[in-house]
Amino acid sequence: MSLKNELDILVAAIRFFTRLPVPGPWGYDSAPLERAIRYYPAVGIIVGTIGAAVFFLVSAFWTKPVAVLATIAAIAYITGAIHEDGWTDTVDGFGGGWTKDRILEIMRDSRVGSFGVCALTILLLGRFLALCEMDTRLIPVPAALIAGHAFSRLCATFVLGALDYARPDGKAQPFSNALDRREKIFILLSVAWFLLLFIPFRELLCGITLGAVSAWWLARMFQRQIGGYTGDCIGAVQQLSEVMFYIGLLFS
């Protein structure tokens, strides 16, 4: 595949998963979007890097909690809170629905229920507290941010590749083609180098374990109750595995 085609696919991933303004004509065709999932973790590195820059800037003038709060807000803005929305809709659907059709109906409803509000509050607090508790002498918060966003999207990508799409149509349907072996290796390597380079091994192992187990648990629930995934489900996997990864890094 040519460099231009790969650029098309990368830009399509950035356009789909963030609100970042990307100049130029690339990434608008449906064909690149179908393969964009291979660059999902790479988008996580971009998002995490922007968050790290915000943390550096704010922490130069204010306290660590203020810097963490500003970072979380900035990341939610540049992603359009697309994954937080997926987490909220998923918890609402699986918390309030008892059949596949009812779960999918609730997840598609634009209104937010009590399950979703509680779950989003707990998730945001968990992310905030975990990052605030990070020992910067051992693991700098910027490194944890980039690693967390890359790893959580790796988890979401593998869940997507393992399950079928649960709806007859939807925004995430272009990603429903199974990833081949080369793409899985590429995705894994795009994340592994950063994790191993910047995160101490013991803490990294704990973070990966908690994040991967949470993704596996969600995937089992999706398969059992709706027979696959939706775009909201993928967002939920990214959110939970990211926060659990941070919590795992706090192991001592």
Weakest-pLDDT range from 87-91, 110-114, 165-169: 165-169
pLDDT tens string 156-197:
999 988 898 888 776 665 665 657 777 778 788 878 877 877
pLDDT at 69: 98
Residue type, 141: V
Q: Which pLDDT score, from 0 to 100, does residue 217 have? A: 98
CB 78 within 8 A of CB 50: yes
Contact residues for 63 (Cβ-Cβ < 8 A; gap 6+): none
Q: Which residue has the higher pLDDT, 109 or 79?
A: 79
**pLDDT of 3 higher than 70:** no
Q: Does the pLDDT of residue 23 top 80, yes or no?
A: no
Euclidean distance between the first and final Cα of the chain, in Å?
Answer: 45
Do residues 106 and 96 touch, judged by C-beta distance below 8 A? yes
| Whether 232 contacts 206, CB under 8 Å | no
Instruction: Return mean pLDDT, the chain.
Output: 88
Q: Name the pLDDT band for 121 (thresholds 50, 70, 90).
A: very high
